[in-house]
Structure 1
Amino acid sequence: MGRDEECEGAHISLEQPLRSGICDLRQASTSKELYPIEELRNMAIDDDTTPNSNRDSIGSVFEPVQTPRQRKSQTALVNTFLTSVGEKEILRTLDPSTDWSSTSRAAKSQGLTSLARIVKAGCSVIAPGKESEIRAELKGSGHVEKAFNIQPVPAATTRAIISSFNLLKDNKSSRRVLLSTLSTQLSFGQVRNVLPTVTQHEFKMAQRHAHMHGPGKIVQPMRLYRVIMSKQKAVHFIDFLFDHGVLLDKAWAASKTVRFSTGERRQLIEAVTNENFQTIIEWYNSYCEDFDFMPLGRSALYNVLQKIPLVKTEAVQCLDMRIAEGKEAMKSLEQVISMLPVDSDQQFNLTTRLKLIERHIVSELKQVLRTKNECRKHCVTFALSEPNGTQFTSECSDHSHITNCEKCLLISKLQETIIDYVKTDEFRVSRHIVEAEDMEKDEEDLILDVREAFGKLNNWRAHQVRTVNQNCARADITMGLLRQRPLTGVYVHQDFAQKALPQKFYESQRDYYAKTGISWHTAVATIFDNNDPFQTTTLIHTFDNQVKQDSSLVMAIDQHLLTYLKKKYPTLLEAIIGSDCGQTYLAANTLLSMTQMKQATGIDVKLYCFTEPQAGKSMCN
């Protein structure tokens, strides 16, 4: 039997104790002896050791175990005991909602030092003058393990583990699985007493295996195959990047020469991204699962992203007051958190939760919003329906809302947590407020500021939902209506662009906002053709003299646009016009003039679409 066959047999036999309680490891090589390790399985695998991957990360990490008042009273009792025996008081305690593995090294060291002082104080009370003897006796007595419900490893189990490790010395994965059953209950020193050859790296990898998959659970290795990159799948991935706002066009972008595997070189325009490759690929895989689409492999997706000239910077966008208010609310809440009477770990915990909310609103929310979704927070149909109205309401009759998004609910939970901290007596003392009137006034003002800040975050989130909905409507027009009307329907998106700037220097901000200089109006017409799927025509109107951007100017421009398109494409019969929510486009004269366009140009305007306010940048930009 070769080495590979031996390891494979041991790997298969190792699965037996996890199912029936019989370890047939020795039989894999010699077929002489069986070792029961049912006791080891009952000791190591418990309901409390469920892998964290199956738990809700937000609820398990951030839900508080005790209130600050309870923790403070307990710490005061311990400090009273330490002071009575001449020991130093505990200055700080660890955050109960933070995992031990996520705690900083300094906090761990300080916590262990405080624990050592408590043990020393207990020894001095129980056995005065005999602290050294009782400490040495306690170390190997097993009473500590008994207090923590850690059962000793039986002798038969020890022999089974040693024999298994000697047999699986060349199979690291099986050794890791076997060691993971002990890593959740025993320390590295205790395991080292049983298995002297185990290294600290092996023990840490076994702990990681138990944390991710469960103690003693065998994970089949993923087989990787080399496949041909499909052009259809690559185009699907690239469309996802630009259609879902993952990649944005960069203003004043420069071109970059990219060399492909075929040896061809091309000039590609730089794009902007605010996320790393791993996060982008996770979003795309989740998107493909929702639509039952088989994507490319991870390595192929990485290769596609590496070929795109990316710039990690903020894109130049229009002024968006919702985003600006949301950013100001984030700064305001961070200042409030820094004022709370909590330790550094709790402040870091609250700040992390706040950052999770911002990240979810900025990038993650756009990827999970759907017209029909089982999560109420991610269902666009439910979100945009009036709660008590009938005119602007749609029923979610073909699907039910049975799931919740913890990150969306985190906004209300974090608001309640911060307000509870503000109402505590510790916060009032830390603010050094003496007079009752000033105390009540300052507390009410701060609570009002917190609620207003979270209200701005909710408005920012609602703004993102409306933006995604309007962008989906524009995509439905171009991909649906125009395909049904080849060469007979056109979609025109128009906008007043920035002023035509001189070649040698930029126009001053004063002249720009005063609307002095050369104004120009841009419009992009999209037409579907069976031979060439989409044809786009860019039309620009430039004005030599200063003009007023009002409804009369827009009416004249639209009439000229449709007249020109009718001459270029004689088969055009219908048009859909879109723009942002500028006052010149929302004016009644502009909308009423669309009903007369058919008589003047021969093209009937069927629909006029508006984008979300301050989020209407599209092809014109």
Structure 2
Amino acid sequence: MEEEDRIDEVLPLSTMYAILEECHAKKSKELVCVDYYLAAAIDGFDVLKKVADNWATTEDLTVEESKTLKNDLKMGHEYLQTDFSIHLQQHTEVISHCIQYALGDPDNKDFTNECEQHLTVCPQCEALTKTLNELKNRIDKKVSICKIESCDELDDLEIKQIETDYAVFNIFELRSHIVRSKLSDMERAKDISELDETKAYITLDWAHKLLPTKYRETQKDFFGKDGMSYHISHVQTVKDGDFIDYSFVHIIENNKQVKF
């Protein structure tokens, strides 16, 4: 801005802080070795947007209703990938943000803790759930009517119903995955903060193959093939009051990678 002599176009600091207060920033994470939940949910949102477009074409929805539905899906998608994780807490009165409530098993007392009352709902979470249920209920109703009337489009509608159900399922699975990941990150941070010279935190994982057999490999080929593999062990501990890291690389020949 200074180089282009456009200082007058820069927002005041107070305005920028006000924006950040309302719009929480979250660092984007790249997809590493394919995040199945995120990839499946993204496909799910795309499928549902196409369903909304199709209903506008067949006049099951007006153009304006279709646009509203797609905008609701877009807002829900953005919320899941940004602020939802930030809003999650170990205990909170917002029912969809309470990790302890979400991960408790009501049928097994050994996996359930007492939780505070949940007196508040999240507008964004409720809006996404409402939108997904609306899409699912609409396609279910269309299939039911078509069965009664024995219409010719029944087979196509049933395929659309399966695709819609699967898309909705994958989106809800992503939401569940985010909750589990948040708890995992919290527990990991807690464990690391409690390290001393008698403790170590060890992370084990496979790295990429040394020499890929193909330019482009499917996941089945990548994880299932034989050949030289890198196995990484990362150790975090404390020495003389300071955090230190050790990394060990094990090169394994003629061994098949399997996921833990």
Measured against the shorter chain, the TM-score band is 0.7 to 0.9
Cα pair 2:89 2:99 within 8 Å, conserved: yes
Which of 224, 229, 247 aligns to 1:538? It is 247
Cα pair 2:95 2:118 within 8 Å, conserved: yes
Cα pair 2:199 2:237 within 8 Å, conserved: yes
Q: Provide the residue aligned with 1:404 in structure 2.
A: 121
Q: Give, in angstroms, the shift of residue 281 of structure 1.
A: 7.9
Which of 413, 424, 435 aligns to 2:130? It is 413
Which of 22, 33, 48 aligns to 1:333? It is 48
Q: Provide the residue aligned with 1:520 in structure 2.
A: 230
Is 2:164 the partner of 1:450?
yes
Cα pair 2:201 2:236 within 8 Å, conserved: yes
Q: Provide the residue aligned with 2:23 in structure 1.
A: 282
Q: Give, in angstroms, the shift of residue 347 of structure 1.
A: 1.8
Cα pair 1:374 1:402 within 8 Å, conserved: yes
> 1:500 is matched by which residue type in structure 2?
L
In 2, the alpha carbon distance for the partners of 1:490 and 1:373 equals: 32
> 1:332 is matched by which residue type in structure 2?
V
How big is each residue's C-alpha offset from its partner over 1:23-61, in whole Å with a ceiling of 9 and x where there is no partner? xxxxxxxxxxxxxxxxxxxxxxxxxxxxxxxxxxxxxxx
Q: Give, in angstroms, the shift of residue 326 of structure 1.
A: 1.1
How big is each residue's C-alpha offset from its partner over 1:235-257, in whole Å with a ceiling of 9 and x where there is no partner? xxxxxxxxxxxxxxxxxxxxxxx
Which of 318, 322, 326 aligns to 2:37? It is 322
How big is each residue's C-alpha offset from its partner over 1:532-589, in whole Å with a ceiling of 9 and x where there is no partner? 2x1111111123x323457xxxxxxxxxxxxxxxxxxxxxxxxxxxxxxx34xxxxxx
Cα pair 1:411 1:454 within 8 Å, conserved: no
In 2, the alpha carbon distance for the partners of 1:422 and 1:353 equals: 17
Q: TM-score scaled to structure 2, two decimals?
A: 0.76
Which of 87, 92, 105 aligns to 1:368? It is 87
Q: Give, in angstroms, the shift of residue 403 of structure 1.
A: 0.7
5+ residue gaps in structure 1?
1-221, 225-277, 288-309, 551-581, 584-621
Q: Provide the residue aligned with 2:183 in structure 1.
A: 469
The structure with more radius of gyration: 1
> 2:170 is matched by which residue type in structure 1?
K
Partner secondary structure for residue 283 of structure 1: coil
Q: Give, in angstroms, the shift of residue 317 of structure 1.
A: 1.0
**CA pair 518-438 structure 1, distance change in 2 beyond 3 A:** same
Partner secondary structure for residue 391 of structure 1: helix
Partner secondary structure for residue 107 of structure 2: coil
Q: Provide the residue aligned with 2:97 in structure 1.
A: 378
In 1, the alpha carbon distance for the partners of 2:136 and 2:204 equals: 46
> 1:356 is matched by which residue type in structure 2?
M
**CA pair 530-283 structure 1, distance change in 2 beyond 3 A:** farther
How big is each residue's C-alpha offset from its partner over 1:452-502, in whole Å with a ceiling of 9 and x where there is no partner? 32122111110111111111111111012x1xxx2111111111211224x
Q: Provide the residue aligned with 1:495 in structure 2.
A: 205
**CA pair 325-530 structure 1, distance change in 2 beyond 3 A:** same
5+ residue gaps in structure 2?
1-11
In 2, the alpha carbon distance for the partners of 1:522 and 1:423 equals: 48
Is 2:106 the partner of 1:391?
no
Q: Which has the higher contact order (CA 8 A, sep 6+)?
A: 2
Cα pair 1:415 1:450 within 8 Å, conserved: no
> 2:135 is matched by which residue type in structure 1?
I
Partner secondary structure for residue 71 of structure 2: helix
Q: Report the identity percentage.
A: 22
Cα pair 1:500 1:519 within 8 Å, conserved: yes
Q: Provide the residue aligned with 1:459 in structure 2.
A: 173
Which of 232, 235, 255 aligns to 1:547? It is 255
Q: Give, in angstroms, the shift of residue 384 of structure 1.
A: 0.3
In 2, the alpha carbon distance for the partners of 1:338 and 1:377 equals: 30
Q: How does 1:555-566 map to 2 (within 5 A)?
A: none
How big is each residue's C-alpha offset from its partner over 1:219-274, in whole Å with a ceiling of 9 and x where there is no partner? xxx996xxxxxxxxxxxxxxxxxxxxxxxxxxxxxxxxxxxxxxxxxxxxxxxxxx
Q: How does 1:28-67 map to 2 (within 5 A)?
A: none
Q: Provide the residue aligned with 1:192 in structure 2.
A: none
In 2, the alpha carbon distance for the partners of 1:413 and 1:457 equals: 13
> 2:113 is matched by which residue type in structure 1?
S
How big is each residue's C-alpha offset from its partner over 1:260-301, in whole Å with a ceiling of 9 and x where there is no partner? xxxxxxxxxxxxxxxxxx5698326xx9xxxxxxxxxxxxxx
Count, aligned residues: 234
Q: Give, in angstroms, the shift of residue 334 of structure 1.
A: 1.0
What is the CA RMSD across the aligned residues, in angstroms?
A: 3.4
4+ aligned runs moved over 6 Å, structure 1? none
